[in-house]
Structure 1
């Protein structure tokens, strides 16, 4: 398996864990981040900018948002790569994504509440993205060949 495929596999692992944690915790913790809401708002906003009508079906829009999250986060976390340096890259990518998820939605017109409403929400947001980066790094490290 070449390094690009290994990196993509590790990125997918990180993205799946991130999405699984978001979707699980939000059902039980009132202040949990709602990245799914940001995803649905993003899709709706982009569709309106393209003169398209967003789906009225919230379940369908939610599914689209989760698929988009997994795809985009897989590509992002694949930057952690493989080998021993994947740990540092995964951690840095995770913290950067978490900080971006807290700081950027407001200025982008997506609202601040889903990721920024309380200190607990902010900490969980950064923590989840850090976890995703570390999972990507762990998988990248585990599947690295001796040639890396």
Structure 2
């Protein structure tokens, strides 16, 4: 039963993260565009296995689905441990994911500009993932 609760909690965090991201990017030019990093990663992966890259709505939908699933899995790990430290673990996992979004893109061969464009963009990137956690 705990595994199901963890998955539901992880999914809730991933959905909250994506709703926030999709909403703020409509109104704020400095908002992180981690979705663009995801699209680049997905298409590079498809090209690496000899598949045609996606475009338009197909690329957007596949990236959004992959983002929600991967973040839900990651955030579900927060529940694996003592309940006493759940909030601290959530903050730590979330902040770690945000810092990872800033620091791991370039070493992975991806553009970091959508997450590191300005200091505000960087702060929002970490804040979004922390909120998800």
Q: CA deviation at 1:89?
A: 1.0
Tell which deviates more after alignment, 66-75 or 103-112.
103-112
Identify the residue that residue 97 of structure 1 maps to in structure 2: 97
8 Å contact from structure 2 (residues 6, 76) kept in 1: yes
Contact 1:15 1:77 in 2 (8 A): yes
Write the distance in 2 (CA, Å) between the matches of 1:73 and 1:14: 8
Provide structure 2 residue ranges, at least 5 long, that are not aligned to the other structure. Answer: none
- 2:70 is matched with 72
CA shift, 1:108, in A, is 1.3
What TM-score do the two structures reach when normalised by structure 2?
A: 0.95
Tell whether 2:88 aligns with 1:88: yes
Q: Which runs of 5+ in 1 are unaligned?
A: 134-148
Q: Using the alignment, how far apart are the partners of 1:84 and 1:21 within structure 2?
A: 27
Provide TM-score, normalisation by structure 1.
Answer: 0.86
Q: Secondary structure at the match of 1:29?
A: coil
Q: Say if 2:13 is the partner of 1:43.
A: no
Q: Which moved more, 1:87-96 or 1:103-112?
A: 103-112
Size of the alignment, in residue pairs? 131
Structure with bigger gyration radius = 1
Q: CA RMSD in A?
A: 1.0
Question: How do 1:114-129 residues align onto structure 2 when only pairs under 5 Å count?
Answer: 114-129=114-129
More helix by share: 2
How far the C-alpha of 1:84 sits from its partner, in A, is 3.1
8 A Cα contact 1:79 1:89, kept in partner: no
Q: For 1:8-36, what per-residue CA distance to the aligned partner results, in whole angstroms no more than 9, with x for missing partners?
A: 00000000000001111011100110011
Superposition pairs for residues 53-72 of structure 1, below 5 Å? 53-55=52-54, 57-72=55-70
Q: Distance in 1 between matches of 2:114 and 2:52?
A: 23
